[in-house]
Amino acid sequence: MKLEISRVVQGCRLGTLTGLGKTGQHSLETPGCLLYTRCASVPHLTQDTLHTLTNLPAVTQVTLATLAEHQEVLEEFKEGARTFAGLHDTVVYCSLHDPAAPSPPGYTTNKTVSVWGSGGRTELTVARFMALQAAVRPDWYQNMADGETGQENTSRKRVRKAVDRTLSHLDECLLLHQKMPELRGAQVWGVVEGGDVREERVRSARETAKRPVAGFVLDGFQSGAMGDDLRTQLLTATTAELPHDKPRLVQGVGRPDEVIACVEAGVDLFESFFPYQVTERGCALCFSFSMETDPEQAVLDSDKEKTIPEDVVQENGSDGGGDGPGKMTRFEMHLRDKRYREDFRPLVSGCPCYCCRHHQRAYVHHLLVTNELLAGVLLMLHNTAHYLGFFRALRRALAQNRLPDLKQQLLQCHQGH
């Protein structure tokens, strides 16, 4: 794997990860995102429906949270999660947690972390963690990490302990990695912790960078964990300590505006759980990112939601955490709303996704109010397509020195123009 940075604009890195996969046949452009899955399949989608989308990311994220309970099965299967799940030719990255289903706190010890799947909690030691990786056989995986620093008022001492534990887990993982033939050719990504303590962030980054890792996973920056300014400061301080030639993936950040803020702080990669969360709350991404000012675009903008319906905000609670679909953002429209009952336009005009080519808002609205399964399928297709389109636009903006235009467009979206 090689990261070629073609351009750095005000902290933003435009580049390409090349030579990915066992034979080096794949590449991934940055800033970019991975393909989100549950139990190694994109939620709601069969391979046939998924592949109505073009330009899918070359890397698929699978999670131990959804695979741990199938360890015995995977061990007997012997060929790893990619083949087990009948995935297409893709690079597989295995993370510890499911970014759309954060684990409850209070289950981390000196020697163990816990993941939560459909069958409940699985407690992992480093040995068990590595045995699982051997069964999953990913191309990339993150080391086991103590990420339990997200709560408010986490003490400095606890943060220090998380950094220490994570480094020791990393060393153990790297040691075991050498001994496991199943993981030959796979690469370890080092997890950087440090909560909201700048010195700990710097220490975690420096120490992790000393180890033979392929890339860095920046943990503890998920939406809601801290204010935007603090996140930017901490991310900037962290990435300053990391080598330029290795990719940085931030966990738990999905909103387009937050994605841009992280890119400006030196982040290259994101998970794509955000379109899934939007789907689960019956919404469709509709923010505009084309940076064109043609009349058609103006029409598109005027379709945008003026306000978020009150009931949606209440219904979804206030913190956006847990397994629930979280809070609605300004980047989406609430298709369950009755204003779409007779709206015969596509979700987003000009969108090339299967849903927008074949169906109308009124139909998706109908599927949502009647609780039909096809709603999830169509929304997942559209939201994924839209999100991937946003990342393409982001890279284009960086290439053309037009990031301010793109940011302006997202800001207008905030203000409901």
Partner 1 sequence: MAAPCGPDVIPGAGQERDTNEMCSKKAASLAPLALRIVAECPVTKARACDLTLPHCVVDTPVFMPVGTQGTLKGITVDQLEDLNCQICLGNTYHLGTRPGPELIDKANGLHGFMGWKRNLLTDSGGFQMVSLVELSEVTEEGVKFCSPYDGKEILLTPEQSIHIQNSLGSDIMMQLDDVVSSTVTGPRVEEAMHRSIRWLDRCIVANKNPDKQNLFAIIQGGLNPELRKACLEEMTKRDVPGFAIGGLSGGEEKDDFWKMVTLSTDYLPRCKPRYLMGVGYAVDLVVCVALGCDMFDCVFPTRTARFGSALVPWGSLQLKTKQFAKDFQPIDADCQCPTCRRHTRAYLHALLKCNTAGMHHVTVHNISYQLTLMRSVRQSIIEKRFPQFVKSFMKRMFPSSDQYPRWAVEALASVNITLD
Contact 44, 367 (CB under 8 A): no
Q: What share of the chain is helix, strand, coil (3-state, %, to 5)?
A: 40, 15, 40
CB nearer partner 1, residue 65 or residue 235: 65
Contact 240, 207 (CB under 8 A): no
**Could you tell which of partner 1, Zn ion, none binds residue 351, using a CB distance below 5 to 8 A set by kind?**
Zn ion
Region of residue 155 (phi > 0: left; psi between -120 and 50: alpha; otherwise: beta): beta
CA distance 279 to 193: 30
Q: Does the annotation list 33 as a binding residue?
A: no
Amino acid type, 91: V
User: Using CB under 8 A, which of 248, 359, 361, 382 touches partner 1?
Assistant: 359
Tell how strand 32-33 and strand 283-285 pair up: unpaired
Contact call for residue 245 and partner 1 (CB under 8 A): no
Task: Tell me the window of 131-139, 281-289, 355-363, 395-403 that interacts with partner 1 (CB under 8 A).
Answer: 355-363
User: Using CB under 8 A, which of 32, 43, 102, 150 touches partner 1?
Assistant: 43
Site size toward Zn ion (CB under 5 A) is: 6
CA distance 312 to 224: 19
Q: How far is the CB of 314 from partner 1 (least distance, A)?
A: 23
CB nearer Zn ion, residue 167 or residue 356: 356
> Would you say how long the chain is, in residues?
417
Task: Tell me the window of 40-48, 232-240, 285-293, 327-335 that interacts with partner 1 (CB under 8 A).
Answer: 40-48
Contact call for residue 356 and Zn ion (CB under 5 A): yes
User: Using CB under 8 A, which of 25, 118, 151, 400 touches partner 1?
Assistant: 118
Contact 248, 269 (CB under 8 A): yes
CB nearer partner 1, residue 47 or residue 151: 47
CB nearer Zn ion, residue 27 or residue 52: 52
Amino acid type, 232: T
Query: Whose CA is closest to 2, among 281, 316, 215, 230?
Result: 215
CA distance 275 to 160: 34
Q: Provide the H-helix boundaries in 197-247.
A: 198-209, 228-240
**Could you tell which of partner 1, Zn ion, none binds residue 236, using a CB distance below 5 to 8 A set by kind?**
none
Three-state DSSP class for residue 8: strand
CB nearer partner 1, residue 36 or residue 390: 36
Contact call for residue 369 and partner 1 (CB under 8 A): yes
Contact call for residue 64 and partner 1 (CB under 8 A): no
**Could you tell which of partner 1, Zn ion, none binds residue 55, using a CB distance below 5 to 8 A set by kind?**
none
Q: Does the annotation list 353 as a binding residue?
A: yes
Q: Provide the H-helix boundaries in 224-353.
A: 228-240, 256-264, 274-280, 295-303, 310-315
120's tokens? 């409940």
| Rg of the chain over all Cα atoms, to the nearest angstrom | 21
Contact 361, 336 (CB under 8 A): no
**Could you tell which of Zn ion, partner 1, none binds residue 328, using a CB distance below 5 to 8 A set by kind?**
none
Q: Does the annotation list 356 as a binding residue?
A: yes
Contact call for residue 38 and partner 1 (CB under 8 A): yes
Contact 84, 40 (CB under 8 A): yes
| Environment class of 341 (CB within 10 Å of its CB; exposed 0-12, middle 13-18, buried 19+) | exposed
88's tokens? 């297409």
- Other CB atoms within a 10 A radius of the CB of residue 197 amount to 21
Contact call for residue 41 and partner 1 (CB under 8 A): yes
CA distance 93 to 133: 10
Contact call for residue 274 and partner 1 (CB under 8 A): no
Task: Tell me the window of 46-54, 155-163, 202-210, 228-236 that interacts with partner 1 (CB under 8 A).
Answer: 46-54
Task: Tell me the window of 172-180, 222-230, 313-321, 352-360 that interacts with partner 1 (CB under 8 A).
Answer: 352-360
**Could you tell which of partner 1, Zn ion, none binds residue 367, using a CB distance below 5 to 8 A set by kind?**
partner 1
Q: Does the annotation list 359 as a binding residue?
A: no
Q: How far is the CB of 349 from Zn ion (least distance, A)?
A: 9
Three-state DSSP class for residue 192: strand
User: Using CB under 8 A, which of 8, 10, 24, 86 touches partner 1?
Assistant: 86
**Could you tell which of partner 1, Zn ion, none binds residue 356, using a CB distance below 5 to 8 A set by kind?**
Zn ion
Give the residues lining the site for Zn ion (CB under 5 A).
347, 351, 353, 355-356, 382
Binding site feature residues for Zn(2+): 351, 353, 356, 382
Interface with partner 1 (CB under 8 A): 38-39, 41-49, 52, 66, 70, 72-73, 76-77, 84-86, 117-119, 341-342, 344, 354, 358-360, 362-363, 366-367, 369-370, 372-374, 376-378
Mark the binding-site residues, compressed into ranges.
Answer: 351, 353, 356, 382
